[in-house]
A and B are shown apart, each in its own frame.
Chain A
Amino acid sequence: MRRAYFKNNWVAALVVAPQLLIIFIFFYWPTSQALYWAFTLEQPFGGGSEWVGFENFQYLLSDGRYWDSVRISTIYALATTALAMGMALTLALFADRQLRGYKGFRVGLIWPYAVAAPAIGLAFRFIFNPSAGVASYLNQAFPDIWNPVMNGDHALTMVIIAGAWKQVSYSFIFFLAGLQSIPRSLVEASAMDGARVMRRMWDIQLPLLTPTVFFLIIINITDSFTDSFGIVDTMTSGGPARGTNLMVYKIYEDGFRGLDYSGAAAQSIILMVLVVALTLFQFKYVERRVHYS
């Protein structure tokens, strides 16, 4: 691919320097510091530290509580992804028909993206509050059927619903764009062949959307690691009985509440590796098949 270039490579150095400098100071160097903390026992007030090698990692990987946290994060990630994408896909398929009010629906389905995680957390915490929110109706009819305060599963359900709500818009935008990039001619041709709406959805639109689907799965899963903090912190603080102790939340709780910086650093390293692996996987196997014009 021939490209026209400028010759002055010093200018190139100059322009990329700021970004490189910033990511060195705020990305790479901190990571090395975290590695240092992860291999030692760091005192909270910074007075010193004790080298322990891989022990922090060994402890984590053999700790049932850590694996609980991994399990909960996985359930959360998969559930929110499935819920959000399922709803988004359905809505996109029908919005794509571009009937009257299309613009209105589109706007209406996009704006939730802008709502901050703690705001969503608070709103849903209130709604699902067993004694004050709308869910209280349920408890009135069937006493004690809904109790996210004491029941870890209920709490997790509540958090998942909040998380899925947050992620619908994102997937909707991509699905809609994906659908709109399918050449109309294809769809019209099949319509002329006598295929009805559902048939077209099943045979043409969905298969052509598969790359988007894979792409969104990975994005939703990785996003579920980050957005979830605001939601969990405002809704359940990781409880009850650690029922909503997502990995990101556990890092925060162990490190900043429990003052165990080394344990939190080790968990961070593991989480970072996990997220990088997921993203690399997405890039290698999925990106290649995505073609937008």
Chain B
Amino acid sequence: MKLSLVSTSVLALLALSGAAVSQTADKIKFDYWYGLSGQLGDVVAATCDRFNESQSTYEITCVGQDGYANAVQNTIAAFRAGQHPTVVQAYDAGTADLMMSGEFYPVSKMMADFNIDIDWDNFFPGISNYYASSTGELFSMPFNSSTPMMYYNIADLEAAGISTPPATWEDFEAALVAIKATGKECAFGYEPSTWIDMEQFSMAHGIPIATNNNGYDGLDSEYVYNTTLHVKHMENIKRWYDDKLLEIRSTQGGLNARDSFAQNECSLYFGSIARHAAVGLLVDGKFEWDVAMIPVYEGTARQNTVVGGASLWVLSGKSEDEYRGAAEYLKFLMTEESERYWVSNTGYIPVTKTGFAALNAENFYANPPYKGRELALKSLTYTDPGPLTRGIRLGGFIQARSEWTNEVQAALQGDKTMQEALDTAVMRSNDVLNKFARTYRGKQLP
């Protein structure tokens, strides 16, 4: 019999206040912490409400953590205190840390344990590969999957004499020049983003970010993006910044790239397809716009991009009832109805093939406001994922992203050349990888 000082007093209090226990005590409760905020966060909260309304055995309590980084940080704090939620929405950058901790219940195993039938092959391979073990078992449930797109203002492009959105970076640069020539101040609203500029760029071009197939094959990986085409790309960005072909529009400055685009200030911007709905709401029909796949450099054989967004992890150390509830919730999210709800209200794309097929069958993507989102799937499935385009499995990735961002900012300011910046970022990120490997000495990537 365990005697816990605090819990006995709490039990005593509860016994005294037994009358205060409401009828929801019958329901099995479990917690879910999600990282999305703003409009997207609201929709997540709505999915929770829908789950609660759809059945009466379980009750999910969803708490928005106001940011993916916060979600991971708070989960860790809670985990150390044994107060963590059952389900957490963790982003791609946090994958390796979660995986190495081993403190999760792989969803494939969980669903099997509770005899819930999920067709794991129904997930698009470009999506499931990111979250699967080396043997193909899914650790976490894909949920909000997105990929970057190029958002463009149709009218501005046409005024510049361009009828189709640029498919190569060379054409893109020409477009910028042409748009500026029409007198538009801001042709391209840019915010340095590792996800778009480095990760997805490398995926689309089939170039490595790090050795060991971007970390999948072992913990002793090293970054190599300072030796690939990525360098030339960033140098171009710097050149466009200097030549005023693009303007920096960051969240820090108030009006970020997305809002600059939506307010018709900038003609082009790169962002996640997830923002598609929000942009639609903000633009509100004031001008015509659309999305296209991100460009590649001439002569490249385009590869698939990978997912961003996050997946749902089930953490260890909870009761069986709570796991049952979590399994039901995940199953609920996989129903066609839920998928439709999710993709209608956000820009995210369906994660299952049948889901996408069903939506296509009813011409969901034929008209605004959903038109254009199918291109995200095209980008994700352009080719089958190869060893270099499965995703990223590198430890301490949050820090690595931060290194890249800070160095690129320094280069844009003119403090150093882009090559120097990327070299420094790589060097420091390798230190992080090193530390990660040693923190988990003796363990393997699952």
Contacts and interface: CB of A to CB of B under 8 A. Distances in A.
User: Are any A and B Cβ atoms less than 8 Å apart in their complex?
Assistant: yes
Interface of A: 41-47, 49-50, 52, 59, 65, 129-132, 149-152, 236-237, 239-242, 253-254, 256-260, 262-263
A240 B73 CA distance: 22
B295 interface: no
Interface in B392-415: 396, 398-399, 402, 405-407, 409-410, 412-413, 415
A252 to B, nearest CB: 10
Contact of A44 (B69, B76, B253, B254): B76
Contacts of B435: 41, 260, 263
Given A41-B438, A45-B101, A46-B80, A240 B252 contact: yes
Contacts of A49: 439
A149 B412 CA distance: 12
8 contacts: A42-B439, A239-B406, A240-B409, A256-B73, A257-B73, A258-B396, A259-B399, A260-B432
B396 A260 contact: yes
B441 interface: yes
Contacts, number: 92
Interface string B81-119: 000000000000000011011110000000000000000
Contact of B398 (A129, A239, A258): A258
Contacts of A132: 254-255
Instruction: Report the interface size class on chain B.
Output: 35 or more
A59 B431 CA distance: 10
A130 B399 contact: no
B308 to A, nearest CB: 18
Contacts of A254: 399
Interface of B is mostly: helix
A154 B124 CA distance: 46
Nearest to A151: B413
Q: Which of A44, A236, A256, A260 has the most CB of B within 10 A?
A: A44
A87 to B, nearest CB: 28
Contact of B428 (A42, A44, A65, A257): A65
A253 B255 CA distance: 24
B440 interface: yes
B254 A239 contact: no
Given A43-B440, A46-B80, A149 B406 contact: no
Interface string B323-366: 00000000000000000000000000000000000000000000
Given A47-B101, A150-B248, A259 B396 contact: yes
Given A241-B413, A259-B76, A50 B438 contact: yes
A42 B438 CA distance: 10
Nearest to A47: B101
B438 A149 contact: no
* For the complex of A and B, 6 pairs with smallest distance between CB atoms: A45-B101, A149-B253, A241-B410, A241-B409, A258-B399, A41-B439
A59 B438 CA distance: 14
Contacts of B412: 150
Contacts of B415: 241
B409 A259 contact: no
A45 B441 contact: no
Contacts of A130: 253
Given A149-B253, A259-B396, 5 more contacts: A41-B435, A45-B76, A241-B407, A260-B396, A262-B439
Contacts of A129: 253-254
B79 interface: yes
